[in-house]
Structure 1
Amino acid sequence: MKDYSEIRVQLLDRRSELESRLGSIKKDISQPLDHDFAEQAVELENGEVLEALGSEAEAEINKINNALIRMDEDRYGECVDCGADIPAERLAVRPFSSRCISCATKEEMH
């Protein structure tokens, strides 16, 4: 089993940061609307942006959780599609990567 302790710490720190941000977003979205109609329009537009940011945070949290599971199963760094090794450089930039560059490119094209 490879030692990914540094990457695990990075992933856990990032997940904690995202969960905190997500909590703030959910709190902001749940606030009641202002009584002024013009202000309500702005708040609704801001709410849409916050929802999009929240969705992105949730998606990244899921990717992080999956990477942690792959670490526990000693499959981290292995492409989930073709089984090839994911280059260390890619994992350094995107530690939650689950696909090699070739498979990730194919996935994005579909």
Structure 2
Amino acid sequence: GITPRTVVWVANRENPVTDPTANLTISTNGSLLLLDGKRGIVWSAGETSASNGSRAELSDIGNLIVKDNVSGRTIWDSFEHLGDTLLPLSPLTYNIATGEKRVLTSWK
């Protein structure tokens, strides 16, 4: 583990949720949602198309993954949205064809 205890990924650092009744859930379309205590959406992983539901898994290496229940296909994962902490096996990549980058983002 990381010592001292360190936050390694944050969905909404500009608008942190302090409500103790907030929760992380998966919508009917398979999207990962962070809801405030009044069930308002604070953050969403984006639209997905999970045909028969989805599930969230936290891997042994620290990657939060949303998978389609039927196909097992990865719909969303936290390693594709890096923050300012690099975990072992989290990729830093650059796709020449698409221009897509996975980079660390410094918190000011």
- TM-score (ref. length: structure 2): 0.25
Larger Rg: 1
Greater RCO, 1 or 2 (C-alpha within 8 Å, sep 6+): 1
Which is richer in strand? 2
Which is richer in helix? 1
